[in-house]
Amino acid sequence: MIKDLVGMGVLRSERVVRAMSKVPRELFLPPELRKYAYLDTPLPIGFGQTISAPHMVALMTELLEVQVGNKVLEVGTGSGYQAAILAELVGDEGHVYTVEIVKELVEFSRENLMRAGYLGRVTVIHGDGSLGYEAASPYDRIIVTAAAPDIPNPLVSQLRPGGRMVIPVGDAYLQHLTVVRKDVDSSVEVEVGTPCVFVPLVGRYGWRE
């Protein structure tokens, strides 16, 4: 599957190829769906939520440009798969904070991350990630894996100057992967990219409280 993503030109960064090759996607799926782990498609993880398709994980991870030692915030833990890939990229010197609003998925992702050996580098928080996670801010990188109506202000505030955020922004049916760059003088640049379809971000800065 990884070879296919490289062949299609979706995966270009050597570091992301290595990280995605190391994390076993089947460990982040309910047992009955593990046989589909290496199909390039989103899969249900319960509670109306999905684990994103590998090509989308590849695309977002490349756009995020994670460096060793980075402190990363993910909004929308889901299965914990994306968080595990981020943990591979930040290494022992970095850390991943990931916020999930569905309590049962907090437990599901923690179990998956523990089984896969990533819980040391990843902290899973139960809460409304549209507000970010102030306690560990500022972040070098922020990734949102649910569809937002707009770029939430708290996330921009919690981004370190020089930092970068990747977030799908749009309506309920179609979004665009959007890259937000915060300059060292704290000015913000927004670049709208590839079309995509995500489950909605809910909460204070999402589609509904």
In angstroms, rounded to a whole number, what is the distance separating the alpha carbons of residues 64 and 50?
21
Q: Is 52 a catalytic residue?
A: yes
List helix spans (H) across the chain.
2-7, 14-22, 54-64, 81-90, 103-116, 153-157
Is 130 one of the binding residues for ligand SAM (CB under 6 A)?
yes
Smallest distance from ligand SAM to CB 12, Å: 21
From 21, 52, 109, 130, the catalytic residue: 52
Of residues 157 and 186, the one with the C-beta less far from ligand SAM: 157
Main-chain dihedrals φ then ψ at residue 143, nearest 5 degrees: -130, 130
Contact of 75 with 129, CB cutoff 8 Å: yes
Written as six digits, the tokens of 186 are 């704290």
Nearer to ligand SAM, 22 or 186 (CB): 22
Site string for ligand SAM, 152-181 (x = CB under 6 A): ------------------------------
Q: Is 146 in the site for ligand SAM (CB under 6 A)?
A: yes
**Cα–Cα distances in Å, from 12 out to 62, 81, 88?**
8, 20, 17
Q: Among all residues, which ones are annotated catalytic?
A: 52
Contacting residues toward ligand SAM, per CB under 6 A: 49-52, 75-76, 78-79, 81-82, 99-102, 105, 128-130, 145-146, 198-199, 201-203, 206
